[in-house]
Amino acid sequence: MEAVAKLKNVPTSPRKMRVVADLVRGQRVNHALNVLKFEAKQGAARLDKLLLSAISNWEAKNEDVKLEEADLYVKEIFVDSARILKRLRPAPQGRAHRIRKRSNHVTLVVDSHNAESAEKNTETSENK
């Protein structure tokens, strides 16, 4: 059973956030939390909180399964562009340069390796 957590309108450029997201994609949850905790990049702290939120969402969905036995991992993480605030900055000779302040949306999906292997076993038994 997978759990989803979303973070919207983060005032960081999507390109910067994707660099941090690539560090934890496909990793086990414990390893991902350690990576994000000690990463110096700007979006790491926000992704750390988002991952903790996804874990608690998974716990709420699966109350009968213990977290230690679940063997959770980051199944999907993707960063989409959000709204862009457009500002003007004075430039020489009476001109104006456009400043684009970008923001992003992050979606993180956490799943259990045990659930994935159980699904594969049922699929193979149905095909026989």
Range 52-69 average pLDDT: 90
Residue 124, classified by CB atoms within 10 Å of its CB into exposed (0-12), middle (13-18) or buried (19+), is exposed
Q: 57 CB contacts (<8 Å, ≥6 apart)?
A: 3, 4, 5, 110
Q: Which of 28-32, 43-47, 90-94, 115-119 has the lowest mean pLDDT?
A: 115-119
Q: Which residue has the tokens 């110096």?
A: 40
Range 22-51 average pLDDT: 94
Give the model's confidence band at 66: pLDDT under 50 very low, under 70 low, under 90 confident, else very high. confident
The domain tally of the chain equals 1
Q: What is the largest CA-CA distance in the chain?
A: 77
Q: Would strands 72-90 and 96-112 be described as parallel, antiparallel, or unpaired?
A: antiparallel
E strand residue ranges, the chain = 3-10, 72-90, 96-112
C-alpha to C-alpha distance for 33 and 64, rounded to whole angstroms: 23
User: 8: how many CB neighbours lie within 10 A of its CB?
Assistant: 11
* Average pLDDT in the chain: 90
C-alpha to C-alpha distances, 63 to 59, 71, 80, 99, nearest whole angstrom: 6, 15, 31, 48
Return the CATH number at 47: 3.90.470.10
